[in-house]
Structure 1
């Protein structure tokens, strides 16, 4: 009877957000996770490299040029035109310029690390929800991209 009473208390403490009902415990854990992510080195690095990239005029010009090239390619493809070797070479050169410019490269690296962290967290959540016998670890059946492992 006490277990039912405690369960009912948790329901009373439920939080309704956009039609989704969650227990207070789940919301508290989500807030703890969110706070940990907000304090993570990965996010701090992402923010600092983004700030440096945004403050760099040459980086902004390279990004603008790259976006213009992307728009040109999109328009060609929308018209059903094949990409010529010349256009493909221009794309490759722009990608190399973007990836080779240190402030942009640092930002892209930080973004990749932050995304890997989020993928790992999502993998842990997905496996816990699926009652994975690996206890939240990675397996080749579910893929290793979330944990950084490699399946062979």
Structure 2
């Protein structure tokens, strides 16, 4: 007579896995509603859901993607040579304007720094001149 001593594990998803799948099926709005309800019922539950949404699910990771096109994509031909020439000329012109504007901003910052420094030096000179004018006269005998 043999006895079966093998342990059997329940492989069906638990409550939390089912709840997560249910919320995932309904989107971000369901997760936010569950978080708000969690805060209303018992604030640590809402806080736990918020932490899970931010760090566990990567819910907000997709909104941080950069949408700028790579320079490689900009140099690919569209198939229309006239458009490609126009696009390249426009990009070159915009880059030149950007460089000129950056140079203008640098000159503007330099002029502001020089004006602030000159004002500081004038103030320092005025204080030094006022200090020497106040010195007591030596007693005359």
Asked if Structure 1 and Structure 2 have the same fold, meaning a TM-score greater than 0.5 normalized by the shorter chain, the answer is no
TM-score normalised over the length of structure 2: 0.22
More relative contact order, 1 or 2 (CA 8 Å, 6+ apart)? 1
Structure whose CA Rg is larger: 2
